Every structure is written in structure tokens, then in C-alpha cells.
Amino acid sequence: MNRRFIPNALTCGNLICGCIATGAGFHHHFTTAFIFIILGAVFDFFDGFAARLLKAPSKMGIELDSLADDVTFGVAPSAMIFTLFTEVRYPEMLYSPFWFKFLPFTAFLLAAFSAYRLAKFNLDERQRLDFIGLPTPACAIFWASFISSSEAYLTSPRFNAPFLFAFMLMFCFLLISEIPMFSLKFKHFDMRDKHTMVKFGFVLVCAGIMAISGLSADSGFVLQSMSKGLAGCIGLYILTCLVMYMTGISREKDVNE
């Protein structure tokens, strides 16, 4: 058997999960979409891991991976946002058939910016250890977990279509921004490096958030509570990266530097 078959098969698993999540998003099955986006992220992690383990990287694998990622982490969350736009409140100034029909289609800006971010990642030599701009899986998981766990709030009078549009544009900007964002790969565990210390602290805080989310959930609402905790973790990730960028703690140093 060709060794490249295994990582490519895992990548196709990611693509299939993205297709199912997209269909679920369009049909208002937000929890199902969330689950399959998470499964897609698992496949996305293991296809790269398998390629490195089997020493079977390939140019076709890279292209296939980007295609699968844009479906799972770009099109699928866009489908969820599209459906949410059909349910969210519209203020009086936008209360017309034109805006009801037009604004939902702006959701696909997220898919376009995700595709651009993925192409940029493939060509940018600076993004081998950490990231420049928000990674597409983080963006997709945030939207999937946020929408699936907070639909009641998002469709309440406290939220509306312009807020949703502005919020989505902010994520489009973060995807292609030049803001350094850390990965959870640890090159070393030297706590003298502030970058490593912040990453380690972030992991511990997120573990606490997820544990509290699971333990505090009512029976039958564990998944909803966990997804809300996951959205909080990604929001914290973005905020932490922004603070690191503004304070200059944005590059991991080698232990021997």
C-alpha cells in the first residue's frame, strides 16, 4: 500500500466531515454541524501527524488538505452564519426584504477569507512554529461552538444582524492579519521564556474552563455547556495573542538564545 494513502484518506475524512457540517448548518442542525467541525479538526490534526510519522508528505496532500480545510473551517461555519442571519433580529432601519435576502449571503465572506488565509499559510515560511493571523480551525470552532450553544441569545433582542455582520468582519480581519498567534506546539518548557510561560498558563486556564463547563452542566446539556466553554477558550486565545502582540511577547525564543 502506498504510504501516502493513509494521510490522504484522513484528509478526505476531514472533507467529508466538512460537507456534513455544511449541510447541517444550512438545515439549522447547529449541534450536528458543531460535532462534525470538531471531528474534521481531529482528522486535520491526524493527517499531518500521519504524514510526518510515515514520512509521506506530498504536494498533492498539501493541496488536498487546504481544500478540505476550507470546506470544514470556511464553508461550514459560513453555512451556520447564513442560517443564523435568517433568524437574527433586524433593527428598524434594516427591516426590509432587501436586507433579509442580502445579508445572509455576506456569511460567505468568512469562507473567502479562510481560503485566502490557507493559501497564505502554505506560502508563508514564517508560520512553521507559530501562526501569523488567526488559524482557520480556531475561527471555525469558535463560530460553531458559539452558535450551537448561544442561539437563544443570538436571536434575542439583545443581539441583531448588524452586530452579527460586524462580528463576522472582525474574524475575517483576524484571519488575514499580521498579528502573531501562538500554536500549542511546545519547542521547549523553559519558563524563563515568557512566550512559553504564557502558552503553558493558557493551557491550564482552558483545562479549568472546560472542566468547570462539564461539571456545572445540567443533565442533558453537557454538550451545550462544553461548547460554550470551548467558545470562551478560543475567545481567550484571541485576547491573549492580542495582549502578547501589544506587549511584545509574540515570539518564542530558543532555550539557547
Which residues, other chains included, contact 207 with Cβ-Cβ below 8 Å and sequence gap of 6+? none
Which architecture characterizes domain 5-178 according to CATH?
Up-down Bundle (1.20)
Tell me which of 257 and 191 has the higher pLDDT.
191
What local confidence, expressed as pLDDT, does residue 4 receive?
Answer: 73
Return mean pLDDT, the chain: 90
Tell me which of 127 and 97 has the higher pLDDT.
97
Element (H, E) at 202: helix 194-216
Residue 194 pLDDT grade (very low, low, confident, very high; cuts 50, 70, 90): confident
Q: Evaluate whether 59 touches 100 at the Cβ level (below 8 Å).
A: no
- Distance CA(101)–CA(4), nearest Å, equals 45
What local confidence, expressed as pLDDT, does residue 256 receive?
Answer: 39
Is the pLDDT at 254 greater than 90, yes or no?
no
Which residues, other chains included, contact 194 with Cβ-Cβ below 8 Å and sequence gap of 6+? 249
Tell me which of 244 and 78 has the higher pLDDT.
78
- Distance CA(137)–CA(114), nearest Å, equals 10
> pLDDT tens, 138-170?
999 999 999 999 999 999 999 999 999 999 999
3-state DSSP of 34-101: HHHHHHHHHHHHHHHHHHHHCCCCCHHHHHHHHHHHHHHHHHHHHHHHHHHHCCCCCCHHHCCHHHHH
- Distance CA(124)–CA(117), nearest Å, equals 10
What local confidence, expressed as pLDDT, does residue 188 receive?
Answer: 59
> pLDDT tens, 11-47?
999 999 999 999 999 999 999 999 999 999 999 999 9
> pLDDT tens, 99-126?
999 999 999 999 999 999 999 988 887 8
What local confidence, expressed as pLDDT, does residue 255 receive?
Answer: 38
Q: Where are the domains of the chain?
A: 5-178, 182-257
Which residues, other chains included, contact 105 with Cβ-Cβ below 8 Å and sequence gap of 6+? 82
